[in-house]
Amino acid sequence: MLPGLKAGFTLDARLEADSEQLMWLGLCELRVMNDRRWPWLLLVPQRPGAEEIHDLTPLDQAMLTFETNMVAQALKRVTGCTKINTGALGNIVRQLHVHVIARSEGDPGWPGPVWGHGMREPYQRPDLRRFAQTIKAAL
């Protein structure tokens, strides 16, 4: 187990099924959402039972903000997108996780939300690896 992570943490099965592990940050596991329509990353704080940001300690809240901003900046640099959408919704998957999505005019669903728009289009494995390496290099 990584230092500082609490025993008993388990990743929600839906997050595991819909995304691929990219790397570990200080607090969060960084994952790539497996939908090639949008460059889409997830940060999952490794804290058992956390459903809301206010469930985290003040120090973990600060760390989550830092890691979210770091990931958002890297994603914007890598993609050259128009806008970064960041959100922690949790209506379906209650486990605390933060979406960081690169959006550009003309992408599928622009300017609306990504949720509920069309069918997911999984990456081809080489494309997913290439995107993952690009993000890792930018961080």
What is the chain's mean pLDDT, rounded?
93
- pLDDT per residue over 71-82, tens digit each? 999 999 999 999
Range of the domain at 117: 13-138
Decide if 77 is inside a domain: yes
Residue 6 placed within a domain: no
Q: Please tell me the predicted confidence (pLDDT) of residue 9.
A: 86
Tell me how many degrees the CA angle 50-55-61 measures, rounded to the nearest 5.
100
Residues (pLDDT < 70) of the chain are 1-7
Residue 125, SS3 per DSSP: helix
- What is the value of pTM for the model shown? 0.92
d(CA 102, CA 5) in angstroms, rounded, equals 29
Q: What is the CATH number of the domain that holds 53?
A: 3.30.428.10
Answer yes or no: is 89 within a domain.
Answer: yes
* pLDDT for the residue numbered 117: 87
Residue 131 belongs to a domain: yes
Whole-angstrom distance, CA of residue 112 vs CA of residue 106: 11
What gap in Å lies between CA 60 and CA 90, rounded to an integer? 18
Domain count across the chain: 1
